Structure 1
Amino acid sequence: MHFENTREFARSLDVQDSLSSYRDEFFFPEVNGRRVIYFTGNSLGLQSRRAKQYVDEVMDDWAKLAVEGHFYADKPWWDYHERFAGPLSQIVGALPDEITVMNTLTVNLHLMMVSFYRPTPQRYKIICEEKAFPSDQYMIQSQVRFHGYNPHEAIVEIKRREGEHNIRHEDVLAKIAEVGNELALVLIGGVNYYTGQVFDMKAITQAGHDVGAYVGWDLAHAAGNIKLELHDWNVDFAAWCSYKYMNSGPGNASGCFVHQMHHNNPGLPRFAGWWGHNKERRFKMEPDFDPVRGADGWQISNLPILTLAPYLASVEMFAEAGMDALIAKRNQITSYLEFILHEIDKEVDSNFEIITPSDPSARACQLSVFLHGEGRSLFDYLMQNGVITDWREPNVIRLAPVPLYCSFEDMYDFGQILKQGILSLH
């Protein structure tokens, strides 16, 4: 499509946008009396009106029913999580019994590693990406130490080539083949949080399996953002947070995937708790653990319903909108934002660099911009003028034009504010 850097053109795209009505579903902060341009849905999504409604329902049930809400609420609490199986499995490309919701992201990754990181003196290494999100780095280091290995020997990072911002796919495959029969686990972020690069999860999963390793994915920046086919890709496990693109609220519950091929493996260890026990016999308080068949069998404690309520509101909204429509708009609005950035760069002769891949198939809903020569003062200007974005050291702002609530006119307005910011600071 031929883009134009005009308000009229941006508004014409909004008129054609089949998802534009969802913008009214969300609450926006205001700066200087105006609704902000919100670019940090890759950190915390906006609150939806439905989220508040669903939380209020739980609060009302608690007030009116107390403990009986477990069985007699309109959405009974004891099986509340089962409502996620259908819509969430569609979002991540899974079978319904491969999905559960529980805990938070890093907790779930630790629990998954109980089952899928089982090092031996021969096979003990873990492959991850350079500059993984720090929580993943800390988690992997602690798991390796827990099993008695040296992180400097057991953790293999796939690095960027000198002078490049993104990891080459062929380098990932080459490193997996090189580590070979010493490799126990591949655990990578499906979308790199810093650059927005999308990894070829299907090919990497196959490569890991080819050398006898398990393969898991941290989908914090991928779930609700990119097309996922976890079941068909034969991914062993995955986990994701729900508060970024899926707008469930700060620090909220994590989604978890365990492939069906592992559901009936009695030799696969796991940390157990009573909510993962046979559902029909759970309240008999039996001494021996009999796990639920499916991903629910990895649950431990009964679930925090107040945190699940806004997440359920969100996944139902995703089911209405459909991932295909969301991805189509994501591609278009991200491309339009990229165009706007290049146009402003030409107008003010600035020196910023987009470090996110230019190929739409290799990026998600994010553009990371390296502000050569601009510095944090430009970020501060944007924030003070109603553009909520994200700063990452040493000199990068991350822009996430989330398709559910960002408009094309937002992209145009951002460009004008960015231009004024650069001009005012020089």
Structure 2
Amino acid sequence: MSPSRVDAPASVEDYQFPDNAHTLEYARSQDEKDALRHLRSQYIVPSKANLKARKLAKPGLSDDEGIYFCGNSLGLQPKAMQTYIQAQLDTWSSVAVQGHFVNVEDSPLPPWQHLAETAAKSMARVVGALPEEVAAMNTLTINLHLLMSSFYRPSGKKSKILLEWKAFPSDHYAIESQIRYHGYDAKENMILLEPDDDHTISTEKILKAIDDNADEIALVLLPGVQYYTGQLFEIQKITAHAQSKGLTIGWDCAHAAGNVPLKLHDWNVDFAVWCTYKYMNAGPGAIGGAFVHQRHGKVEYDENDKPMFMPRLAGWYGGDQQSRFKMDNNFRPIPGAGGWQCSNPSAIDLAALNAAMSVFDQTSIDDLRQKSLRLTCYLEHLLDQALQTFGDEAPFRVITPRDTKQRGTQLCILLKEGKLKPVSVALEDEGVICDKREPGVIRVAPVAMYNTYEEVCHFVQIFVKALR
């Protein structure tokens, strides 16, 4: 895998913005220069009228589009989605079970049996992996359980899992239950990394925690991007350090996949999981993704033709396609991440994922990252300017790191106590959709695929008005 070519400026100060940067005229001039602006037309942007409607309605109730900065929670629907899902339905209705094996002319989809590997190939380019190291299967937490069943193998004193202080609840629950399942006390075997000042966790603190607890750690499991603060962890450096201590390390890339450049293969990551309904835009509850480094996915055969492979919770769909339908109950796993598949995946879910990835196939994660950096730094610049107008009574502050190498496309705004509800209501009244997290954080994610400079500028104007 080749190294990333993204050379990110260190902070918002390294971007030069003119005196008129706060104007809609300037924002529109930047949109005109945007080499990726054509991608927006491939998504359905809800109108303000649609966002306020409470009856089922087709898109386009008005021409006044809303501002959607919630791609870190659920990405917008690609226009290709209807075509791909309709093709799956038409295949089912016309050739029925033969859809598993037959190439249907004029369909954007391969036979159902190849849908997962087609999606995996596209995702592999986004996360920096070999195609065989990626599988499209299940959902994030299920994949986390499946991979922990292989990679969390506590023994004696080495039984603890190192994780962050504010892990996403589903991750926290999965880790707790895995520890209990192996017969250990969860509280005693979870090492929680507390933040430094202002919510973030420094790389140095993580490395020290690894050093201090290496004799007791059975697994390190961290997020690529922290969901509450938007902090991007130094995956390569942390992975190398953990492995230098003989430790296994996995990453939850739910907020990183499709957001920032990843090099999971080159960085020698042991395993990773992610969802596809955030920055990958595959739809609510969409099928998930999993990565297993090729060194762990090897399948070798002894002199009796018996397969030797990493222990796992197995199912028939993880079996090699050439022997899957022999029904002889001799499990011969697919080499790579595909060998961790269990059940026949939903064809309609995979159709949706392939539709979403068809847009990614038209660009690169590096180009998306470049636009993301510019959009996010522009947002932060305007927020900095707005803060100056409030004097000493600052009603908000950004808790996401200013260092662009330590963040993705999400800026987390911590509001003064009591401001979250009224500001959220005011934003929604103006057709602005952002994600909020109690007790006082608004997570703003201008996504490079479909958001614009004009939307960033307009958002800040609405946000400041709401605060006043």
TM-score range (shorter-chain normalised) is over 0.9
1:136 is aligned to 171
Q: Offset of 1:180 from its aligned partner?
A: 1.0
Count of residues in Structure 1 that have an aligned counterpart in Structure 2? 422
Q: Offset of 1:2 from its aligned partner?
A: 2.5
Q: Give the one of 56, 61, 68 matched to 1:38.
A: 68
Structure 2 Cα separation of the partners of residues 233 and 105 of structure 1: 21
2:115 is aligned to 80
Q: Offset of 1:344 from its aligned partner?
A: 2.1
Structure 2 Cα separation of the partners of residues 26 and 95 of structure 1: 28
Q: Give the one of 98, 109, 117 matched to 1:68.
A: 98
Equivalent positions of 1:16-415 (< 5 A) are 16-32=33-49, 33=62, 34-74=64-104, 75-161=110-196, 163-264=197-298, 266=308, 268-349=310-391, 350-373=394-417, 374-415=419-460
Q: Offset of 1:73 from its aligned partner?
A: 4.2
Deviations 1:137-170 (A, max 9, x none): 0000000000011111111011112x42101110
Q: Which amino acid aligns with 1:390?
A: D
Aligned residue for 1:321, secondary structure, equals coil
Q: Offset of 1:267 from its aligned partner?
A: 5.4
1:5 is aligned to 22
- Checking the alignment, whether the CA contact within 8 Å between 2:158 and 2:216 is kept in structure 1 is yes
- Checking the alignment, whether the CA contact within 8 Å between 2:261 and 2:369 is kept in structure 1 is yes
Q: Which amino acid aligns with 2:364?
A: G
Q: Offset of 1:245 from its aligned partner?
A: 0.1
Aligned residue for 2:389, secondary structure, equals helix
Q: Which amino acid aligns with 2:184?
A: Y
Aligned residue for 2:215, secondary structure, equals helix
Aligned residue for 1:403, secondary structure, equals coil
Q: Which amino acid aligns with 1:154?
A: N
Deviations 1:334-353 (A, max 9, x none): 00011111222223444210
- Checking the alignment, whether the CA contact within 8 Å between 2:323 and 2:332 is kept in structure 1 is no
In the superposition, relative to structure 1, how do residues 62 and 267 fare at CA in structure 2: closer, same or farther (>3 Å)? closer
1:419 is aligned to 464
Q: Which amino acid aligns with 1:276?
A: G
Q: Which amino acid aligns with 1:93?
A: G
CA RMSD of aligned residues (A): 1.2
- Checking the alignment, whether the CA contact within 8 Å between 1:348 and 1:419 is kept in structure 2 is no
Aligned residue for 1:164, secondary structure, equals helix
Deviations 1:70-121 (A, max 9, x none): 1114320011112124321111111111011000000000000011000001
Q: Which amino acid aligns with 2:398?
A: I
Structure 1 Cα separation of the partners of residues 39 and 78 of structure 2: 9
Structure 2 Cα separation of the partners of residues 146 and 243 of structure 1: 29
- Checking the alignment, whether the CA contact within 8 Å between 2:161 and 2:189 is kept in structure 1 is yes
Structure 2 Cα separation of the partners of residues 400 and 132 of structure 1: 20
Q: Which amino acid aligns with 2:269?
A: V
Structure 1 Cα separation of the partners of residues 68 and 265 of structure 2: 33
Q: Offset of 1:400 from its aligned partner?
A: 0.4
TM-score by length of 1: 0.97
Q: Offset of 1:365 from its aligned partner?
A: 0.7
* Runs (5+) with no aligned partner, structure 2: 1-14, 50-61, 105-109, 300-307
Aligned residue for 2:241, secondary structure, equals helix
Deviations 1:11-44 (A, max 9, x none): 1110110110111111122224421111110000
Deviations 1:114-137 (A, max 9, x none): 110000012111000110100000
TM-score by length of 2: 0.88
Q: Offset of 1:322 from its aligned partner?
A: 0.8
Greater than 4 Å deviation, 4+ residue runs: none
Q: Which amino acid aligns with 2:444?
A: L
Structure 2 Cα separation of the partners of residues 49 and 267 of structure 1: 41
Q: Which moved more, 1:98-107 or 1:199-208?
A: 199-208
- Checking the alignment, whether the CA contact within 8 Å between 2:420 and 2:442 is kept in structure 1 is no
- Checking the alignment, whether the CA contact within 8 Å between 1:65 and 1:73 is kept in structure 2 is no
2:5 is aligned to none
Q: Which amino acid aligns with 2:70?
A: T
* Runs (5+) with no aligned partner, structure 1: none
Q: Offset of 1:321 from its aligned partner?
A: 1.3
- Checking the alignment, whether the CA contact within 8 Å between 1:125 and 1:154 is kept in structure 2 is yes
